[in-house]
Amino acid sequence: MNILSLVWGNLVWRSSFIAWAIAQFLKGFTSIRRRGGFSWKHFLGTGGMPSSHSAFVAGLTTAVGLVEGFDSTSFAICFVFSMIVMYDAAGLRRAAGKQASILNKLIDELIHTGELKQARLKELLGHTPYEVFAGAFLGILVAFLICK
């Protein structure tokens, strides 16, 4: 049996990966209303709705709970890891994105005055709490569908 078959046969890995892939796929389409069309930038990048990071770790944590038990050490480790990832997505990375937005406005003002030429910073770094919640819900749903 080859390595890909072994990995894909792991329900925990499969549910986590599928949750991540669905979330990443949906990002390209959820930007349609906001941006007026499908966005490859959102489809391939960070930020956006739903959070693929949250979907991945929530899918992982739920699948571990379903397979190994919600009272297992593995579930506890995954749960703590998931909380850190989701906090980072909604907190620290979002704050960094807001700072990038402000810096980009300053750069635009300086460029218009001819005093500075600087590349724009990436603003879509983090997620709103709603995007994190939606990603986590998606991950939990996929884990239940695959592992139950």
Provide the pLDDT for residue 98.
66
| Contact by Cβ (8 Å): 89, 51 | yes
Out of 7-21, 84-98, 107-121, which region has the weakest mean confidence (pLDDT)? 107-121
- Residues 6 or more apart whose CB falls under 8 angstroms from that of 80 comprise none
pLDDT band at 115 (very low <50, low <70, confident <90, very high): low
Average pLDDT over residues 117-126: 55
Percent residues over pLDDT 70 in the chain: 69
Contact call for residues 26 and 135 (beta carbons, < 8 A): no
The stretch 92-105 carries a mean pLDDT of 68
CA–CA distances in Å: residue 59 to residues 36, 85, 123: 30, 13, 27
Determine whether 80 is exposed, middle or buried from the number of CB atoms within 10 Å of its CB (0-12, 13-18, 19+): exposed
Q: What is the pLDDT of residues 2-34, one digit of tens each?
A: 888 787 888 999 999 999 999 888 877 766 666
Mean pLDDT of 131-144: 84
Kindly report, residue by residue over 23-74, the tens digit of the pLDDT: 888 877 766 666 666 666 665 666 677 888 899 999 999 999 999 999 999 9
